[in-house]
Amino acid sequence: MRKVAVIGVGHSKFGVRKDVNLSELTYEAVKPALEDATVSMPDIDFVAFATVGGMYEESLPAVVAAEYSGFTGAGLVRCEAACASGSAAFYTSYLNVASGMSDLSMAVGMEKMTEVDTPTMMEMIGRAGSYLWEFHNFGMTFPAYYALYASAHMAKYGTTEEDLAEVAIKAHKYGAMNPHARFQKETDMDQVLSSFLVAWPLKLYDCSPICDGSAAVILASEEKAKELGIDTPIWVKGVGHSSDTANLSKRSDFLGLQASVTASRKAYKMAGVGPGDLDVANVHDCFTIAELLAYEDLGFAERGKAAEMVREGETEVGGRLPVNVDGGLKAKGHPIGATGCSMIYELTKQLRDEADSRKRQVPLKNNLALAHNVGGTGHYCYVTILER
């Protein structure tokens, strides 16, 4: 397998994007990624698109978006892994280059979630599990799924609603500094705790928003990166993936996501590093409890100790391990297909020392970053480790 580098990244504004259609929104990320990599569309041999789809007009979005962006003739594939679709596309493009099939490939994540009303969107997301058992019989939605994990964690480890709120406060703090973020306003404990209840103990401010957005990543072989004169290649050092049961009743407990544990261990092993070596991480905080679970699943904290990391400021810029300093899914937004590529965008910028705000730029010691992208409630998981 060949060494593979990230050489270009692009990102759209996340939010309610009624001003553009899906193809135009996709191009908002593709264009700056091409410029960043100093390549043109004909240079890209293969493109993996990520979108869950079904909530907008195009049934073959990869074909339409590729044509609009000028990629007609390139190899195309559409990847779906629920909320981890962006990372599935990144992994597919990575393998395309690592295997020698292409010297340049691209992963593009895109989603338009606001084309349908909120109840319809909630039902569609709620089908991303065991539909006949959980949604059809019991009306489970994703806030309800993660509420099971939150209440179990609280009962076992004494995690509080205030601990969850601290995660939201941190997310909005950094989202307010990120020009791409859906929410660019800070919040406080009173506002989070007084927001309306969605699925106890999760409140409105514990939940990531429905929104639109896109992100793009260009990958190159070592030889191509040298040929292009890329002075700051970001190497893909480790990748790991896993999955879990569709039916949550078959899980042993609700205290963590086994897919995250397995995927991260694979990535650490491939990279030859451990959680203590990382400088920065982006984890899948679709709900505030999900961020705390990730700390423990990924080895950042012992079981039951994740909340202490937030309380003590360890996951802030300047802390032991800054996490989600782009606002995360919670404040930056979570357009499902775009999220995985958006994580790679942020970590690439961090490793290049190019964060759009110096207040968000983490101090680098080992030049290592980790992206953790979950699909469903741990139904899928991808972990990627990058190194400058």
CB-CB neighbours of 31 under 10 Å: 16
* Residue 83 annotated as catalytic: yes
Q: Residue 75: CA atoms inside 13 Å, Cβ hemisphere, count?
A: 15
In the prediction, which pLDDT does 136 show?
61
d(Cα 279, Cα 98) in Å, to the nearest integer? 25
* C-alpha–C-alpha distance, residues 373 and 294, integer Å: 10
d(CA 68, CA 227): 28
pTM: 0.97
Q: Of residues 79, 83, 207, 341, which has the active-site annotation?
A: 83
* pLDDT for residue 137: 66
pLDDT at res. 77: 97
Q: What band does 118 get if pLDDT is binned at 50, 70 and 90?
A: confident
Question: What confidence score (pLDDT) does residue 59 get?
Answer: 85
Catalytic residue among 334, 341, 379, 381: 334
Q: What is the mean pLDDT of the chain?
A: 95
Confidence of residue 142 (pLDDT cuts 50, 70, 90): confident
Q: Which of the four CATH numbers 3.40.50.10860, 3.40.50.300, 3.30.450.20, 3.40.47.10 does domain 4-116+210-228 have?
A: 3.40.47.10
Domain extent listing, the chain: 4-116+210-228
172 catalytic per annotation: no
Encode pLDDT of 301-333 as tens digits. 999 999 999 999 999 999 999 999 999 999 999
CA 17 to chain centre: 19
How far is Cα 323 from Cα 371, in angstroms, rounded to an integer? 10
